[in-house]
Chain A
């Protein structure tokens, strides 16, 4: 199992380590619920160093990214970031990614840890014929996510940057706790917050400084409950190589007016299913549970769990496109009533 630069720090702070995408990472330190609520009400810090980072540079970097990604990369000014996807030739999703424009001809792409090798090979293949250079920086990049309504005020005490001048999706360089960092006002929790790209040797000092300043260390468990409550997809669950993103709530990412790899196949694939949010009357839905419309099985849960804010079971599920309420989720042989919910499941700023 691989270790992130914070492995020893996680142990020191009582992290309960589990394997995720080949890395030893903390599932929780004290309690998933406490860590979840710390992020919703204060500030929590996650080690997301397992995520992949690719540097994309060159004269045709933008042209290449327009071809390789579904969102409109041309909209990105230097110092700005966007959520996007890498479509495959069939119009499915190789990965969902975040794209940061660092310079005129320089971009940083953050990808899911489990997909680093697949994504890099895919991008390398697609980049043939473009004047562009791809570099995998994943091994030499540590990444922390500081998230929550108090993230900005907490971080302001540790950095020389004026955070009040930085908007959501800005990316910029600054010092944090005296260490050089690239900061982005992005995250995966539905809260305000920052992601901090660091040299591996600086990660521990910055992590400790954030904790010292009052951030709660938060693990993978809370990361998952937070993203589910916020209605964000997790690759391998809501999005896969066979998912047409146009059949999901994240269809807005796909900009049909531009040309991109896999576009024709994507547009030609009809949506047999739709992705919906469900709130259960009782019980906790889990991945793979069947969803019914009345007596008829119409789909399955792709991500399920407990919402600490709603204090109810919530799920993202694929159901037949025409399926109507009343919905039920089969929870160990019993059918629990489930109502459709808009995403996010909870009101977020």
Chain B
């Protein structure tokens, strides 16, 4: 499974990529593979204030629905509207075109509480 080293991760299989004073959020390659064909994404409203760990979006595959949690507290400032027409971007390019929403964190320093690529690799190994 691909785990880019340029970003942070959660135990719930989100990734968080810092860009300026915002953070791009998506799901990992492992997560999209486990979900299978993504057919619908419920996006949050721009401007919504979210707490770390709060369910912000929902990714639906053919077989199941999965909540996507905010990796840090902050405000949703952008959503990937391309997913409304082409939700399969999450399967095709989970770390790029398949991003889900952008948050402006209350404090960029909170990213340090997340896992790095090596830490996330360990989570996957412990899940077997």
Contacts and interface: CB of A to CB of B under 8 A. Distances in A.
A196 B40 CA distance: 36
Contacts of B40: 282-284, 306, 313
- Which 8 A-B pairs give the minimum distances between C-beta atoms? A33-B37, A32-B62, A284-B60, A306-B39, A306-B62, A31-B37, A284-B40, A32-B37
B63 A221 contact: yes
Contacts of B37: 31-33
A214 interface: no
Contacts of B18: none
Interface in B95-127: none
Nearest to B67: A332
A1 B39 CA distance: 31
Chain B contact patch, size range? 10 to 19
A174 to B, nearest CB: 35
B39 A283 contact: no
A316 to B, nearest CB: 16
Given A283-B40, A332-B58, 20 more contacts: A31-B36, A31-B37, A32-B36, A32-B62, A33-B37, A33-B39, A221-B36, A221-B62, A282-B40, A283-B42, A283-B60, A284-B39, A284-B40, A284-B60, A284-B65, A305-B62, A306-B39, A306-B40, A308-B62, A313-B40
Contact of A32 (B60, B63, B65): B63
B38 to A, nearest CB: 10
A313 B65 CA distance: 12
Contacts of B65: 284, 286, 332
A33 B63 contact: no
A112 interface: no
Interface string B25-57: 000000000001101101000000000000000
Interface in A22-76: 27-28, 31-33
Contacts of A305: 62
Contacts of B42: 283, 332
B128 to A, nearest CB: 15
A147 interface: no
Interface string A274-302: 00000000111010000000000000000
Contacts of A31: 36-37
Contacts of A282: 40
A127 interface: no
Contact of A27 (B39, B58, B60, B63): B63
Given A284-B65, A286-B65, A28 B36 contact: yes
Contact of A225 (B58, B60, B62): B62
Interface in B55-84: 58, 60, 62-63, 65
Nearest to A28: B36
A63 B7 CA distance: 71
A282 B58 CA distance: 13
A305 B61 CA distance: 9
Contacts of A283: 40, 42, 60
Contacts of A284: 39-40, 60, 65
B36 A306 contact: no
Contacts of A308: 62
